[in-house]
Amino acid sequence: MEQIIQTSKSYSKWITVVSVAIPVVVAVLLFAPVKLSFENGGWIQLLPTLNAVINSATAVLLLAALAAIKTRRTTLHRNLMMTALGLGTLFLLSYVLYHASTVSTVYGDINHDGVLSEAERAEIGGYRTVYLLTLLSHIALSIVVVPFVLFAFYYALTGQFVKHVRIVKYTFPVWLYVSVTGVIVYLMISPYYL
């Protein structure tokens, strides 16, 4: 029993470290004055589209995993969730690589000069507010959900199914919201990419 408690504490520490490190690293890369440069790096511009595809696939996997567990197909459920976690990891790597190598796109910047002029602001109207609210809720919840997702996986993989079920009641809808709003944010800002 003591071994299980020690292992649990060890995993809890790692989950905490990872959950704090991810948003810190992303913030540093987003606001870094120097960006990475890649020779023949045109492929970097494809990453936002890849990220939207990953978010879409994750949302589909989450819904399929829900259907699988509702019909007691636990092996399928586990495989779908592991794939969703793998896609989440791939998304994070792609997202970090993109933002470490490019300047953030400004929503509504029609002429792509990196500045939102009063004329551009007037032209897009209230859509910018909708975009910013969607983006901010997406970012905030993506930070909040990480430790809960990791604990949900830990509980499932260690057979602590009562704890797993308890945590996924809240984690699942937040993860699904983050995946869906990731696609919505992409669709809203994609006209302003270079």
Greatest mean pLDDT among 35-49, 91-105, 107-121, 177-191 lies in: 177-191
The three-class DSSP label of residue 18 is: helix
Can you give the pLDDT at residue 39? 67
Report whether pLDDT(6) > 70: no
How far is Cα 63 from Cα 192, in angstroms, rounded to an integer?
A: 31
Is the pLDDT assigned to residue 5 strictly greater than 60? no
Question: Letter for the amino acid at 131?
Answer: Y
Q: What is the pLDDT of residues 125-170, one digit of tens each?
A: 999 999 999 999 999 999 999 999 999 999 999 999 999 999 999 9
Measured in degrees and rounded to the nearest 5, phi and psi for residue 139 equal -65, -50
Q: What pLDDT, on the 0 to 100 scale, is given for residue 193?
A: 86
Looking at residue 4, its pLDDT comes to 46
pLDDT of residue 9: 76
Q: How confident is the model at residue 43 (pLDDT cuts 50, 70, 90)?
A: confident
Q: Which residue has the higher pLDDT, 124 or 35?
A: 124
Helix (H) or strand (E) holding 25: helix 2-31
Q: Which two tokens stand for residue 5?
A: 């408690």
Q: What's the CA gap between 96 and 149, in Å, rounded?
A: 19
Average pLDDT along the chain? 90
Position 85 confidence tier, pLDDT thresholds 50, 70, 90: very high
Could you tell me the end-to-end alpha-carbon distance of the chain, in angstroms, rounded to an integer?
A: 57
Structure tokens at 155: 């509980």
3-state SS string for 89-136: HHHHHHHHHHHHHCCCCCCCCCCCCCCCCHHHHHHHCCHHHHHHHHHH
At 7-34, the pLDDT tens digits run: 567 888 999 999 999 889 888 877 777 6
Domains of the chain: 42-192 (1.20.120)
